[in-house]
Amino acid sequence: MPSEEQPSLFDLSTLGESTPKVNFHPDLIPTNAKIPIPPGTYQTMTEMAAHCNRCHRCDLGDNRTHAVIGRGNIEADVMIVGEGPGQNEDETGLPFVGKAGQLLEKILASVGIDSDRDVYICNAVKCRPPENRVPTAEEIAACKPYLLEQIRMVDPKIILLTGATAVRSLLNEKRGITKIRGLWMEWEGRLCMPILHPAYLLRNPSKERGSPKWLMWQDIQAVRAKLDEIGGNR
């Protein structure tokens, strides 16, 4: 469904007189993307995972092995949002566990960021798109309320959006990822930075000045500096 039809999870005033009366019983949430998810619906990631693993707000749930919720520190100052699960993630139920995930670990470690302690990692969509295709706008919109609940529960100071799909999941941004990567943006009072997806770096192995890997090195150093500036790593 179009994102503008989904009431903001950060503004209950959107559920006013003009909003169609909807039964907000929690058991209805996974059945239809038209059922809003009010803020505070979930107290834990475990509660949300139970819904995601039986969710059919879009068709991706028809073929999943596991919904992929997240991993890392649920009290981290940095949240990393990816696109969606691949085959390894679908099989394990964990995000970023393939080659791209291994590269992400190295990138974070290069500036002293520990993936277990300092970040929480999740995806814009929780179920694997067939053949690892890019999620559709409808699939992103159907899953967005879950992502917003994750942001509320983790309450990060910095959100890193890895790739164009992750950017579209939160920001009303029309420019391509190569135009906006490394730029600090504000969303709902939080600092966000679009960065290149590690899978893109794997396809572009050069480390020459101006290459994707070189650009990522500049960006992750900026993240480290900002984290130190705001007193991160709770």
C-alpha span between 225 and 168 (Å, rounded): 25
pLDDT of 232 reads: 62
Which residues of the chain fall short of a pLDDT of 70? Answer: 1-24, 232-234
Q: Look at residue 231 in the predicted model and tell me its pLDDT.
A: 84
Number of separate helices (H) and strands (E) present in the chain: 8, 6
pLDDT of residue 234: 56
- Crossing angle, helix 137-154 and helix 45-52, to 10 degrees? 160
Write the DSSP symbol of residue 96: S
Q: Is 132 helix (H, G, I), strand (E, B) or coil?
A: helix
Per residue, what are the HEC states of the chain?
A: CCHHHCCCCCCHHHCCCCCCCCCCCHHHHHHCCCCCCCCCCCCCHHHHHHHHCCCCCCHHHHCCCCCCCCEECCCCCEEEEECCCCHHHHHHCCCCCCHHHHHHHHHHHCCCCCCCCCEEEEECCCCCCHHHCCCCHHHHHHHHHHHHHHHHHHCCCEEEEECHHHHHHHCCCCCCHHHHCCCCEEECCEEEEEECCHHHHHHCCCCCCCCHHHHHHHHHHHHHHHHHHCCCCC
Q: Quick check: 156 and 190 in contact, CB under 8 A? A: yes
What is residue 15's three-state secondary structure?
Answer: coil
- 8 Å CB contact between 218 and 212: no
pLDDT tens sequence across 109-155: 999 999 999 999 999 999 999 999 999 999 999 999 999 999 999 99
What residue type is 225 in one-letter code?
Answer: A
Given this model, what pLDDT does residue 193 score? 98
Radius of gyration of the chain (CA): 17
